[in-house]
Amino acid sequence: KKDLVAHFEDEAQNKRVAYLADIFDQLNKLNLKFQGREAHILLFQDNLRAFVSKLQNWHRKTNLGNIAMIKKLYGMMDGSRVQLDQFRKDEITEH
C-alpha cells in the first residue's frame, strides 16, 4: 500500500498519468464518432484523417514546447508556459 502512495507523490509519474488521461480521452472521443446509425466508411475516413492531423499538430507543438492542447498535463503545470525538459518532450513525441 505504501508503494502505491509513493507513486502519487511522484510528480513525474503524475504528469505521465495526466498526459495518458488526455490521450485516452481523445481516443475515446474518436471511438464514439465511429459508432451509431449514422456511421459509415466516408465519415470514418474523415474522422480518422482529422485525428491523425491533430496528432501531427500536437507533435509539432510539443517539439516547440507548447503543451496547451494536452489539457490535464497543462493544468498540472498551472497553465504556465513551463519549458518541458528534453526527456519529457521526447517521451511525448515518441509515444
What are the residue ranges spanned by the domains of the chain? 2-94
CB atoms inside a 10 Å sphere around CB 26:
17
Mean pLDDT by 10 residues, the chain (95 residues): 68 84 95 89 94 94 86 76 62 76
Handedness of CA 66, 83, 59, 16 (dihedral sign): negative
Q: Would you state the pLDDT for residue 23?
A: 92
Whether 22 contacts 49, CB under 8 Å: no
pTM for the structure as a whole: 0.75
